[in-house]
Structure 1
Amino acid sequence: MKKEKQNNKKRNLILLYIVIVLVLLGVGSYGISSVLKRDTIYEGIKIGKFDVSNMTKAEALNKIKGELEEDLAGKQMILRYEDKTYNVKITDLGFHYNYEKAVNEAYSIGREGNIVNKLKTIIDTKKYGKTLGLETSYDKNLINDLAHEISQDINLESKEAVFNFNGGKMHVTDEIVGRKVNTELLKQLIDENVYKLEDVDIPVEKIQPKATKAQLSRINGVIGQFSTSFKTSSSDRKENIRVAAKSIDGKLLMPGDNVSFNETTGPRSKQNGYKEANVILEGEFTPGTGGGVCQVSTTLYNALLSADVKVVERHPHSIPAKYVSYGQDAAVSFGSLDLKFRNDFDFPIYIHTKVSSDTIYIYIYGDLNTKNYNVKIDSELVEKIEPLVETILDNSLKPGEKVLQQAGRTGYKTKTYKSIIKNGKIVKKELLHSDYYKSRKYIYKIGPKVEEKIETSTEEAEE
């Protein structure tokens, strides 16, 4: 407390000294009043590099603004991407100086506090000087707009090369490499460069198309094929085969691509062009929409095996198909059984289908330089299962009468092998799968037994 009183006493003595000095200098009480009431900025004050001593606020504002506005007009940053250049004036970003705030602050120096504080500030400012900063600001929304405009100008959608197949002739179009500006990073770079005004490289990401001309040009021939006949089929079944075959024609698989037969051919509905024909349901031939599609999946399955394409899902029928060997069929049913495969090659593959009056052909195209070997599929009959016979007594039938209620069929157990043949020699052989086609028993209805007739002699009859 004692120390604080001493400081106050010392301060008052200093202020008294200042008043005495002013009086001695001839300012007097009237002079002090005129100094404090002047309408100009006190001596020793600068705004930035500009000395605004003894200027009115309007004069100071005109001086600073006149020089800096001309300087601002020439300030810009350059944004570049390849052959594109964008000259961006910082005034286009709403950049400006807060002239009024700086001038008002300069004018306020020496005009705050009591008379003693004002006089002390005026004297110190004149002796030691005081420099004020000049605040700046800009509109970040305009930076966002600029980044968006540049992106719209530079961005380019990528376009894949296209493999065209017409009458056995192959042609590949050029791909287009896409571009996409990283707008968030661009906004950050512009924002950080407002005061540096250095050249900026616009951040652009190249978007490589999945299919390029170099890749698709590797398709140079048939690497696998298969065909089956449907000569004895009904007209509706033939039409279903044509519809399903058309849906997979032209399918292109890039390396790593997976394909589902069911997804490609779609639901077996009349809206999709399928008609009613016999389908196999729980071992029975039953009328159903899409009968015959399984012949397409089976033909495709064998073409894929011939091309050595990876099959990841395949199912046998409940009874052997007549158009291929045992163990080489591929049953499909939309929503349950599917044929799925994947391109594990490092080149694309292309599927082409052709349907004649009674035969479906499926060709797998790819790189003959890489797939330079043949594939052979063999089926082995492991076991033949004869059908059982069951009889059911039916008293409504005539004695000894026999009626077939359920036709039986033989069952089979098979194994299917794949052999890789190169230069005429088998270099690899593997088991693809084991299949079991269940047998079905014969069921007969039979009438009651025939009673035996007993012959007797005349004497026995008389007795």
Structure 2
Amino acid sequence: MKRAGFILTVLLVQLCVTLSLGSVATYASTHDRAPSGLIIWGRNFSGLNRAEIASELKKEIPDVIVYQGKSFPLKLERFYAKIDNWLNQIFPPVSGVWYLDVLQSLMHKPVLNPVLELDQDDIVSQLKAIGAQINKPMIPATISYLNRHFEKTSGQNGQALDIDATFHKITNDHVNKQVEALVQEIPVQPTPVEIDKIKDVLGDYTTYFNPQDAPRTKNVRLAANAINNYLIAPGKVFSYNKVVGERTEAAGYRPAYIFVGQEEIKGDGGGVCQDSSTLFQAVCEANLKVVERHMHSLPVSYVAKGQDATVAYGLLDFRFQNDTKGYLLVSALTGENWLRIRLFGVADANHPAQQPDGYPVRPDIFNEDFK
């Protein structure tokens, strides 16, 4: 009797299981849709089929960047492929229906929060391309000295797409298909206010050359043009070699006499050491910090012995630091037989203003262009 009762109980349990699985199978085969209460990323997908779920999930990430009325589409194929792959893993289709055990699992655990990340390298690459169409270079305020007065421009702010912030916004906006580009303003540097402070003569020195030596004279003028109206920010180091560049024939420099050891030989750019030495004298007058300086192996004619600064591209440089509180303007002008270098800036106790009179030897006759 007990054995018969036990067999009956087992049969009833099997019948219940069969009926339960049968109802799930019937739901899957007739509906091919998500069970009631299925939540993915906080959204209810009850009753949607797999294709509809995929379509809705792909709407979770913005695919258009907008800025000032212009639209820039994003290519999200890689992210869409991740969604499809995830759906294939969670809802594997078999003969047009989902696995029964998947449906059963979803009925008991209907809330899903898959971690599907955008390919950051891919999106950043696209944002850089978009940025190239949005970005505007900053135009700095400028100052130059000519004919005894300063000429100034106020400059213009620039702008640049903030790639990191825009990417973060894309990944966190699950509402809008379009995202406004986040753009940073690039303020003018130096500012017009900083430019206006450049008034004082901190250093002023003049040397002379033989205009009959045409190759050397040309080299002196080329180097002067390279450093003329060069602005040095506070704390920055000026490198003569970096600013002037390599003295090559292609750059316009001609062979002229240079010192090599105890000999004089011709080399490209002979004469540019007069510019670096004249600049060194102006730097000394301005009481600026000298970072690197070398003397010639033989005395030169344009400055006193031991007061020169030789240079050789890639080997010997003349460098100094703008240790004032403001910007420093280098003015390098040439006349018929002279080179005059002035340093304009903001005077202070350590860098007092100088009288605009730094000539080691005054010429007997001032040319009209000696300004």
Normalised by the size of structure 2, how large is the TM-score? 0.62
Structure 1 residues 170 and 223: CA distance shift in structure 2, 3 A: farther
Picking from 258, 263, 267, the partner of 1:279 is 258
Residue from 147, 151, 172 that aligns with 2:153: 172
Q: SS of 1:170's equivalent?
A: strand
**Displacement, 1:292?**
2.5
**Identical amino acids, percent of aligned pairs:** 21
Q: What secondary structure, in the 3-state scheme, does the structure 1 residue paired with 2:155 have? A: coil
Question: Does residue 311 in structure 1 map to residue 311 in structure 2?
Answer: no
The structural deviation recorded for 1:47 is 1.5
Q: Does residue 248 in structure 1 map to residue 227 in structure 2?
A: yes
Partners of 2:111 and 2:143 in 1: how far apart?
Answer: 66
C-alpha deviation, 1:306, in angstroms: 1.9
| C-alpha distance in structure 1 between counterparts of 2:228 and 2:214, whole Å | 21
Asked whether the 8 Å contact 2:202–2:344 carries over to 1, the reply is yes
SS in 1 for 2:340: strand
> Is residue 47 from structure 1 mapped to residue 35 from structure 2 by the alignment?
yes
Aligned to 2:9: 14
Counterparts in 2 of 1:20-99, with a 5 A limit? Answer: 40-41=26-27, 47-49=35-37, 64=48
1:133 aligned partner: 110
- In structure 1, what is the Cα distance between the partners aligned to 2:191 and 2:272? 33
Indicate the SS of the match to 1:299: helix
Q: Name the count of aligned residue pairs.
A: 326
Deviation at 1:187, TM superposition (A): 4.7
State the 1:297 CA deviation: 1.8
Q: Distance in 1 between matches of 2:14 and 2:161?
A: 71
Q: Determine the C-alpha separation between the residues in 2 that align with 1:204 and 1:369.
A: 39
3-state DSSP of counterpart to 1:171: strand
Who is 2:336 aligned against? Answer: 357
For 1:287 and 1:62, the matched residues in 2 are separated by: 88
| Offset at residue 223 of structure 1 (A) | 2.4
Name the amino acid aligned to 1:48.
Answer: S
Alignment of 1:224-239 (within 5 A): 224-231=203-210, 234-239=213-218
Are 1:367 and 2:346 counterparts? yes
Give the Cα separation in 2 of the matches to 1:228 and 1:335: 25
Cα drift, residue 83 of structure 1 = 8.5
After alignment, is 139-148 or 156-165 more displaced?
Answer: 139-148
Shift of 1:355: 1.0
For residues 207-235 of structure 1, what are the alpha-carbon distances to aligned partners after superposition, in whole Å with 9 as ceiling and x for unaligned?
66754444334323432211112247523
Distance 1:172 1:12, change over 3 A: farther
Q: Retained in 1: the 8 A contact 2:145–2:229?
A: no
Q: CA distance change for structure 1 residues 10 and 347 in 2, over 3 Å: closer, same or farther?
A: farther
TM-score, structure 1 length as denominator? 0.52
Contact 1:143 1:190 in 2 (8 A): no
Deviation of 1:314 (Å): 2.0
CA contact (8 A) 2:197 2:326 kept: yes
- How far the C-alpha of 1:171 sits from its partner, in A, is 0.9
Name the CA distance, whole Å, in 2 between partners of 1:270 and 1:358. 23
Task: Say which SS state the counterpart of residue 237 (structure 1) adopts.
Answer: helix
Provide closer, same or farther for how the CA distance between residues 261 and 48 of structure 1 changes in structure 2, counting only shifts above 3 A.
Answer: same
Q: Which residue of 2 aligns with 1:332?
A: 311
Q: Secondary structure at the match of 1:159?
A: coil
Matched letter for residue 133 of structure 1: P
Deviations 1:108-151 (A, max 9, x none): 48x9xxxxxxxxx9xxxxxxxx5573868797559987776666
| Structure 1 residues 277-426: aligned runs within 5 Å | 277-368=256-347, 371-374=351-354
CA contact (8 A) 1:144 1:187 kept: no
Counterpart of 2:35, as a letter, is: I
Aligned to 1:392: none
* In 2: Cα distance, 1:280 partner to 1:46 partner: 88
What is the distance in 2 between the residues matched to 1:13 and 1:188?
Answer: 63
Measure, in 1, the Cα distance between the counterparts of 2:253 and 2:15.
Answer: 114
Q: How far 1:340 sits from its partner (Å)?
A: 1.6
Indicate conservation of the 8 Å contact 1:310/1:344, yes or no.
yes
Cα deviation code 1:222-263 (max 9, x no counterpart): 322111122475233322222222222232212232233234
- Provide closer, same or farther for how the CA distance between residues 104 and 332 of structure 1 changes in structure 2, counting only shifts above 3 A: closer
Conserved? CA contact 2:211–2:217, under 8 Å: no
Displacement of 1:349 in angstroms is: 1.3
- SS of the residue aligned with 1:270? coil
Q: Greater shift after overlay, 248-257 or 171-180?
A: 171-180
Within 2, Cα distance between the matches of 1:247 and 1:240? Answer: 11
- C-alpha change, 1:278 and 1:100, in structure 2 (3 Å) is closer
Structure 1 CA distance for aligned equivalents of residues 13 and 183 of structure 2: 66
In the TM superposition, what whole-angstrom CA distance separates every residue of 1:373-413 from its partner, at most 9, and x where no partner exists?
A: 44999x9xxxxxxxxxxxxxxxxxxxxxxxxxxxxxxxxxx
1:264 and 1:20 mapped to 2: Cα distance?
A: 92
Amino acid at match of 2:138: K
One-letter amino acid of the structure 2 residue matched with residue 16 of structure 1? L
In the superposition, relative to structure 1, how do residues 189 and 321 fare at CA in structure 2: closer, same or farther (>3 Å)?
Answer: closer
**Paired amino acid for 1:362:** I
Between 1:158-167 and 1:337-346, the stretch displaced more is 158-167
Once superposed, what is the RMSD of the aligned Cα atoms?
A: 5.5
CA distance in 1, matches of 2:336, 2:205: 16
**1:213/1:141 CA distance change after superposition, 3 Å:** same
